[in-house]
Amino acid sequence: MSTLLDEEIKDKDIVLLDSVWNVIVHNDPVNLMSYVTMVFQRIFGYSSEKARKHMLEVHHAGRSIVWSGTREKAEMYVQQLHQFLLLATLESVDL
């Protein structure tokens, strides 16, 4: 038998779990691989190895999830990626 407190905790868990958003970068034939790598380093602070790994994933798989977290921050990152002229979208994570 659940109490009101149990219900409140359950609802909060659902809200927290529901708040994860992915930032996805999509491939395009124009952006230079070196440019994409540089952008990932500059925006996300990734090492050159990690930035290159994501760049290669974009190149070979067509897309890469480059970051996950809150919606607000995901929107900020997508805006920055658009400033650098990368194709980027955000999407909520289905949990």
Closer of 12 and 34 to other proteins (Cβ) = 34
C-alpha to C-alpha distance for 16 and 19, rounded to whole angstroms = 5
Question: How near is the Cβ of 21 to other proteins at its closest, in Å?
Answer: 11
Rg (C-alpha) for the chain, rounded Å, is 17
Angle at 47 between CA 41 and CA 53, to 5 degrees: 85
Alpha carbons 95 and 93: distance in angstroms, whole number: 6
To other proteins, the closest distance from the beta carbon of 2 in angstroms equals: 34
Nearer to other proteins, 6 or 92 (CB): 92
Burial of residue 87, with CB atoms counted within 10 A of its CB: 0-12 exposed, 13-18 middle, 19 or more buried: middle
We find the least distance from the C-beta atom of residue 8 to other proteins, in angstroms, to be: 28
Please report, as ranges, the residues that interact with other proteins according to CB under 8 A: 28-32, 34-35, 38, 75, 78-79, 82-85, 87-91
Residue closer to other proteins, measured from CB, 12 or 59:
59
